[in-house]
Structure 1
Amino acid sequence: MVNIADSPGAQKLVDDPFGSRPYLVFWEVTRACALACKHCRAVAQPKRHPDELTSEEAERLVDQLAELSPPMLILTGGDPLMRLDVLQIAQRADERGMRVGLSPAATARLSNYDFDVIRQAGVSSMSLSLDGATRETHDAFRGVKGTFDRTIDAVHRAKAAGLSVQINTTLTAHNLDEFDAFRDLMFELEPSMWSVFILVPTGRAGVVDMPSADALESVFERMADLVGKAPFGIKTTEGHHFRRVLAQRGHGGQRGRQGMRTPLGIRDGRGVMFISHTGVVSPSGFLPADCGNVRDVHPAEVYREHPLFVSLRDSDALGGKCGRCEFRTICGGSRARAYGVTGDMFAAEPACSYQPKSTR
């Protein structure tokens, strides 16, 4: 973990639409997982960490998050189902007014779960990953045979149970040529949302695994062709410049969000907060900066007042071409990828080929 004391623009007061609360809170309830994914952010392990938040600490955290009142709480991992009290956590969060999402791994454990019980516990949505468009490529990516079939089965079971389904696809240099097949698969499965993750070099993933900026631009153009036509929503994770492509096409302009359900401008630390299995608070799961621990400080205080969070919410604190870009308030680039590639969280987005028109 990287400890942050000071960061550019940390004390600058800005008109901050995301200043009071995050829109999305990702809580890594455990790092335990039975899979061995090539790109795993968490570098997940087979067994639970001895210093995970206890059930009592988890209950306290849910109550604190309810005070912060984020519109969405996502329970992730590792595999959150490896934590035996995960549905109790979900139910407590639901009872305190939060919309709860669950992001499980497609293992035999998930196959044995009653999805109606998951929904009755207060989970409203489930995100499942397909990182290969075929059985062979996905199972190779995930490191365990049978994962593709279990994922497809889980999509159908989740929809039958009344859960909103999001399918996550991580694009890398190695699976970019499957994009058309991914697209066709989404039309078959018809999730509520297709979230295209753009790989960040962290955890088990390296810079060599990143797609090139030019290749991504081409993919984003093809994704934009689907907006308003596909029977599912389309968004990106750590691929914020897709919003710029949409704006350039006139899809709602810079203030619109056609094809997306989250407000424009969200990025690491700006509308997003991540809490690790041991309680460490970071701007996102892909940006491993230690901004405090929920065992010692209220998560609302970290989000609203920590200098790094304050700086990351300031689009004028961005460096390089991102700082000059006319789309910086709706995009701002992946701060996690900038850090993973350059060591500077405020550097230009390495995976964007756009050259700003502004000379600011």
Structure 2
Amino acid sequence: MYPKKKLILSLYQQHKAMQSKLHKLTYLFWECTLRCNFNCVHCGSDCTRQATVPDMPKEDFLRVLADIRPYVDPHKTMIVLTGGEPLVRKDLAECGQAMYDMGYPWGFVTNGWGLVEKRLQSLLNAGLRSVTVSLDGYTEASHDWFRGKKGSWLRAVNAISRVASTPGLVYDVVTCVNKKNIADLSKLRDLLISIDVTHWRLFTVFPKGRAKDNPLLKLSTVEFRQMMDFIRDTRREGKINASYGCEGYLKDYEMEVRDTPFHCQAGINIASVLANGDISACPSLRGDYVQGNIYQDDFWTVWNSRYQIMRDRSWTKTGKCASCKSYKYCQGNGLHLRDEKTGELLHCHLEMMGKETQAEPKFENVLTAAFRFLT
């Protein structure tokens, strides 16, 4: 690793330590449903049309927001609705309006199927601030296979076009890179640029849920580095703001494929309320990572008195992490990539890249990032 980048990453650890100490809540996810109209091959929640866990009544989640309102700045606390597919809820606009009336900005993650013009307008009228739409292939065949729904590609592209043309709406497009779509990333990028998309986030699947044993979803080392190079080169071209997802320490690719150094903020700045009321960090953390339940515990008390396992990651320095030279920067990878019972690391991004990476950092970008996050 180049000395300047190593210095910046070392300094950034001080920023991470301070964030853990302050644990200021800035993102709260609400898993508003486990129902879904798709059958995605990578689904970590294994969602179905008729979920065994019923939708949480909106009043129960709104009570949580009302309870924490005296302790947070609601205007700086983003509420993100996830699922399942949030748009299967008929009362989504009512939920959004209530959150907006309390001062919270809100958004949701969607497969795009139900985001027709009339529905989008009703959500905008309810104060919608942000939307994330999934598009997982340049062709109908690759996307529809991934999403398990014929016609889903066209619906997603139309939804993306709508949100991209909506003034003031914050949005991004997310793509799960896999063996069936990696060869078409350049074409997909050009498609997004052609419909005026400005923000594109790419990620790789993690080994949970339906994705656990599907060989078509896991990239090889060569493919993974191919994706990293593609993102880095796309960022340098400047036609679309492409970035890799928040997970995983990437060594020499740090600050080359996303704006900030790796930092798993689960339980530090991010919390979630799951469909059954469980209080967790990011929605991907379940099992022993759950810290309480809104039907039994006060959310704000849980946020301030628990979550130690996430704010002190020293326990992760075991197994393959114990002797890793990059541990001080990585701190055990994202918690969703560790076993929910044993804490064992299931997926290492450094292993995915091989022992060494060859990305050449642009120091002016690195220094700009350091100044922005360390001052």
Q: Which amino acid aligns with 1:17?
A: Q
The 3 A distance-change label for structure 1 pair 304 and 136 is same
Residues of 1 paired with 2:79 and 2:174: CA distance? 17
1:299 positional shift = 2.8
Could you tell me which residue of structure 2 aligns to residue 297 of structure 1? 297
Q: For 1:60-75, list aligned pairs within 5 A.
A: 60-66=63-69, 67-69=71-73, 71-75=77-81
The answer on 1:20 being equivalent to 2:18 is no
Residues of 1 paired with 2:101 and 2:236: CA distance? 34
1:288-310 alpha-carbon deviations (Å, 9 max, x no partner):
2332111222333333332xx32
Bigger-Rg structure (1/2):
2
- Residue of structure 1 aligned with 2:127, choices 122, 126, 150: 122
After TM superposition, the structure 1 stretch with the greater mean CA deviation from structure 2, 17-26 or 53-62, is 17-26
Residues of 1 paired with 2:247 and 2:180: CA distance? 17
Could you tell me which residue of structure 1 aligns to residue 42 of structure 2? 39
Could you tell me which residue of structure 2 aligns to residue 239 of structure 1? 247
- Residue of structure 1 aligned with 2:151, choices 133, 146, 149: 146
Contact 1:74–1:100 (CA under 8 A) maintained in structure 2: yes
Residues of 2 paired with 1:126 and 1:334: CA distance? 24
Residues of 1 paired with 2:143 and 2:173: CA distance? 13
1:211-238 alpha-carbon deviations (Å, 9 max, x no partner):
2345323311321222253333333335
Could you tell me which residue of structure 2 aligns to residue 7 of structure 1? none
Q: Which amino acid aligns with 2:78?
A: M
Residues of 1 paired with 2:46 and 2:222: CA distance? 29
Residues of 2 paired with 1:265 and 1:101: CA distance? 22
Could you tell me which residue of structure 2 aligns to residue 4 of structure 1? none
Could you tell me which residue of structure 1 aligns to residue 108 of structure 2? 102
Contact 1:29–1:76 (CA under 8 A) maintained in structure 2: yes
Q: Which residues of structure 1 form unaligned runs of 5+?
A: 1-13, 252-257
After TM superposition, the structure 1 stretch with the greater mean CA deviation from structure 2, 318-327 or 291-300, is 318-327
Aligned residues: 329
The answer on 1:201 being equivalent to 2:207 is yes
Q: Which amino acid aligns with 2:223?
A: A
The answer on 1:217 being equivalent to 2:219 is no
- Residue of structure 2 aligned with 1:276, choices 261, 274, 277: 274
1:126 positional shift = 0.8
1:203 positional shift = 1.9
Q: Which amino acid aligns with 2:157?
A: I
Q: Which amino acid aligns with 1:347?
A: L
Contact 1:213–1:351 (CA under 8 A) maintained in structure 2: no
1:3-40 alpha-carbon deviations (Å, 9 max, x no partner):
xxxxxxxxxxx944044233322211001111111111
Could you tell me which residue of structure 1 aligns to residue 373 of structure 2? none
Residues of 2 paired with 1:232 and 1:71: CA distance? 27
The 3 A distance-change label for structure 1 pair 159 and 186 is closer
- Residue of structure 2 aligned with 1:172, choices 163, 168, 178: 178
Residues of 2 paired with 1:172 and 1:198: CA distance? 7
After TM superposition, the structure 1 stretch with the greater mean CA deviation from structure 2, 19-28 or 31-40, is 19-28
Contact 1:322–1:328 (CA under 8 A) maintained in structure 2: no
Could you tell me which residue of structure 2 aligns to residue 337 of structure 1? 337
Residues of 2 paired with 1:282 and 1:213: CA distance? 32
Q: Which amino acid aligns with 2:134?
A: S
1:89-137 alpha-carbon deviations (Å, 9 max, x no partner):
2222223332211112322x32263322211211111110011221111
Contact 2:143–2:153 (CA under 8 A) maintained in structure 1: yes
Residues of 1 paired with 2:303 and 2:30: CA distance? 14
Residues of 1 paired with 2:325 and 2:224: CA distance? 18
1:259 positional shift = 4.7
The answer on 1:160 being equivalent to 2:142 is no
Residues of 2 paired with 1:136 and 1:196: CA distance? 19
The normalised TM-score by structure 2 is 0.76
Residues of 2 paired with 1:212 and 1:270: CA distance? 32
Q: Which amino acid aligns with 1:180?
A: S
Could you tell me which residue of structure 2 aligns to residue 255 of structure 1? none
Residues of 2 paired with 1:243 and 1:192: CA distance? 26
After TM superposition, the structure 1 stretch with the greater mean CA deviation from structure 2, 218-227 or 233-242, is 233-242
Q: RMSD over aligned Cα, in angstroms?
A: 3.1
1:244 positional shift = 5.1
The structure that is helix-richer by fraction is 2
Could you tell me which residue of structure 1 aligns to residue 238 of structure 2? 230
Residues of 2 paired with 1:302 and 1:243: CA distance? 34
1:349 positional shift = 4.3
The normalised TM-score by structure 1 is 0.79
Q: Which amino acid aligns with 2:88?
A: M
Contact 1:27–1:277 (CA under 8 A) maintained in structure 2: yes
Residues of 2 paired with 1:317 and 1:349: CA distance? 17
Contact 2:143–2:152 (CA under 8 A) maintained in structure 1: yes
